[in-house]
Amino acid sequence: MDDITEAVLNRDEVARFLTGGHGLSADAARARILEYLEELRTTQRYELYRALEYPLYPILRKIERVAEFSERAVQATAAGRVVWASNHRSHTDYLVEPLVLDDAGIRPPIIAAGINLFGGPLGLIHKHVTGALPIRRNTKDPAYLITLKAYVSTLLHRHDLFFYPEGGRSYSGELKSSKTGLFSACLSANVPGLVIVPVAVSYDLVLEDHILARQGVKRAQRAFSRELAEMVRYAVGYRSRAFVTFGRPVPLEDYDPESRRSLLELAHLVRREIGRLYKVLPTSLLATAMRPSVTRAELRDRIAALLDTLRAIGANVGVDSADEAIEAATEPLETRGIIAVEDGVYRVRERHVLRYYGRSLQHLLTHAGATH
């Protein structure tokens, strides 16, 4: 056995499971654990990983990367082991956020990603180059849950980890509640000095906005090849900025790995920090203020009021004025076919997509007690 497998099998929770139970004999339990370990096993080859930027250039050149507070990321990794926890907007998150870390001189961490991304050639790249960790979401198999937690806890003694507490992407556009499984694994790892750094990613335009908004909620897992084909369609003429904002490290030594309450407090704190860091961009401001039909003057007044509310709660606002927001957001939303502008009147063309962008600020406005 390799050292990671041996370390996982020696963890208390795994050893208890291997004695049998949950409808499995001891031999069947061991076979199930080893099967899941083989699925989770991943290797990052950094030189090949960095070279991936070149074949991916047709997509990456469409996205301008903007890092905020990257010095926090550098300081955190210099001090010890780090877990990065980010909101999840797009499949491009997996490309943009690790490259922002690499731009800052930080070796990309192991990334926890949905297992649907591991089919075909892309799966081989994830498993043997990027070092991505395949996650089965929404499974209730106790053997898998125990193995995943033990594997991640063991892995954290050797690598930093990047994960998305929401699980999958937000189909509605809003910041979703956090799942606690990987938080629990981080707490039980017992890595001295381990911290979680909240990260927020925000786009002027999300590449698959029409796809996500049309579905609204995730009803079933689709093959990534099908999603990729749809994304290629919407990539025509696509341009966007991606803001990646780093928060202050959250030390895990203050949280009890045996306490459910402590676990939930940690998950809620990280979600609040991600929401606070989230960059408020012109497209989301215009989408939130928009009505089925509105004049530019009315739209300016609504955005101005919205900006006052957001600044009052300390939101990470990316514009100085309502006029600036309108100027910056009108062309991309109109080109994307989401709104139409004629004779100074703004009208909605794609209501679901507009709501998708508007809901990205819902966590801030709910906190502020405001409605727009």
Domains, in order of start, for the chain = 3-36 (no CATH), 42-277 (3.40.1130.10), 280-368 (1.10.10.10)
The predicted-structure confidence for 35-85, as pLDDT tens digits, reads as follows 999 989 887 777 766 776 666 677 778 999 999 999 999 999 999 999 999
Give the span between the Cα atoms of 56 and 102, in whole angstroms. 15
Is the pTM of the predicted complex or chain greater than 0.95?
no
Is 32 in a helix, a strand, or coil? Answer: helix
Q: What is the chain's mean pLDDT, rounded? A: 89
pLDDT at 198: 98
Contacts of 246 by beta carbon, 8 Å cutoff, 6+ apart:
67, 68, 69, 70, 72, 73, 197, 198, 199, 277
Whole-angstrom CA distances from 235 to 94, 211, 230, 348 are: 17, 12, 9, 22
In a 13 Å sphere around the CA of 86, the CA atoms on its Cβ side amount to 28
Give the span between the Cα atoms of 332 and 329, in whole angstroms. 6
The predicted-structure confidence for 315-340, as pLDDT tens digits, reads as follows 999 999 999 999 999 999 999 999 99
pLDDT at 372: 40
pLDDT at 189: 93
Is 172 in a helix, a strand, or coil? Answer: coil
Lowest mean pLDDT, pick from 23-27, 87-91, 123-127:
123-127
Q: What is the mean pLDDT of residues 291-306?
A: 97
